[in-house]
Chains A and B, each alone.
Chain A
Amino acid sequence: MHELSIAESIVRVAGDHANGRRVTKVYVKVGHLRQVVPSALAFSFELVAQGTPVEGAKLALEEVPVTARCRSCGVESRLGAFPLLCNSCGSADLRIVEGEELMVESLEMEEA
């Protein structure tokens, strides 16, 4: 259940940036490779937000699919499942370009 720790961090980051204002929505990007369960994260978020400026805020999750660039042939592939192999030449020697994100992108807040 790493979602609970991740939710705590999201609430902390959002709270830090809110400067005492009330947060109404938090936009978070989660890469597919992070193995985050969206429903578990949403549940944890609601729980740990209680009693903070983030209480009651909506959590907007954007799931980012895996994109990788092949070190052999240079082609970029969109990948859905393991094994992660280049769509063009089949090599496993890939550099992950997207899909490992875990980031608070932005906040919506009430005017102070």
Chain B
Amino acid sequence: MHRTAVKKVVMESVLDANDALAQANRDRFDTAGNYVINMMSSPGAGKTALLERTLEKLRGKLRLGVLEGDVQTTLDADRLARFHVPLVQVNTDPGFGGECHLDANMVRSGLTELPLDDIDVLVIENVGNLVCPAEFKVGEDARVMVYSVTEGEEKPLKYPLMFRSADLVLVNKVDLLQHLDFDLDLFLANLDAVNPGVERILTSARTGKGVDEWCSWLQSRKPLS
């Protein structure tokens, strides 16, 4: 039997479903009075190390909470557990197919374990990856990228999707600059080429350089109650 083809106009954004869930997360955050940061970087850029410094500095000054995203293991959450802040680990492997990023649904699944009403600023540490996390909103207010100087000057041009979406770039591991051929000015020019004038702070989780400035930035984000 011959079957004729029919055409149907759809015009539906591929990410509509995720965006709707992200908005639902956002509504929950707004109700609870949370300012939410989506922290993104390559693997090994220093997100967790910077968070350790941050929790050390801001303990008792700002009610921070952390949602840790990783494909597997609770290693990062274990590192942060000693600070006794509200903390939940979301692994993207079981049930989520080992995704290389967090999406709005994964974040939603972690929120039930966080006392949102007792949190001023929630940091969502995304899976280390320079492409995919940028595509998926999770309900955040701001996107903070951690970029380490060992990654070379050219990455903003190669991975513009994430660099374009950042509200703040923490240029990390600057204590290593003296040992590297990394051209900081060239990197910053490349950064400006894809995201003109984006805020940036030079940091070192190892020496603590820039951590005060980053913590002030965070404190300035605390929602007015």
Contacts and interface: CB of A to CB of B under 8 A. Distances in A.
A109 B161 contact: no
B9 A106 contact: yes
A10 B13 CA distance: 9
A83 interface: yes
A106 B8 contact: yes
Interface in A4-40: 4-6, 9-10, 12-14, 17, 21, 24, 28, 33-35
A35 B159 contact: yes
Interface stretch (B53-61, B98-106, B144-152, B203-211): B98-106
The range of chain B's interface size is: 35 or more
A68 interface: no
B17 A110 contact: no
Interface stretch (B129-137, B169-177, B214-222): B129-137
A2 interface: yes
B3 A107 contact: no
B225 interface: no
A33 B14 contact: no
The SS class assigned to the A binding surface is: mixed
B85 interface: no
Contacts of B131: 2, 35
Nearest to A16: B12
B111 to A, nearest CB: 20
A83 B10 contact: no
B162 to A, nearest CB: 9
B107 to A, nearest CB: 14
B160 A35 contact: yes
B14 A13 contact: yes
Contact of A5 (B9, B11, B132, B192): B132
A102 interface: yes
Contact of B100 (A1, A10, A106): A1
A-B interface, 5 closest residue pairs, ranked by CB to CB distance from nearest: A83-B193, A2-B132, A92-B196, A110-B3, A35-B161
Nearest to B156: A82
Nearest to A22: B3
A34 B6 contact: no
A111 B14 contact: no
Interface in A64-112: 82-84, 92-93, 102-111
B157 A109 contact: no
A14 B3 CA distance: 19
Contact of B10 (A17, A34, A82): A17
Interface string B8-42: 11111111111000000000000000000000000
B154 to A, nearest CB: 11
B12 A13 contact: yes
Nearest to A6: B14
Given A5-B103, A33-B164, A104-B11, 18 more contacts: A2-B135, A4-B97, A13-B10, A13-B14, A17-B8, A33-B161, A34-B135, A35-B159, A82-B157, A103-B14, A106-B8, A106-B9, A106-B11, A107-B7, A109-B5, A109-B6, A109-B8, A111-B5
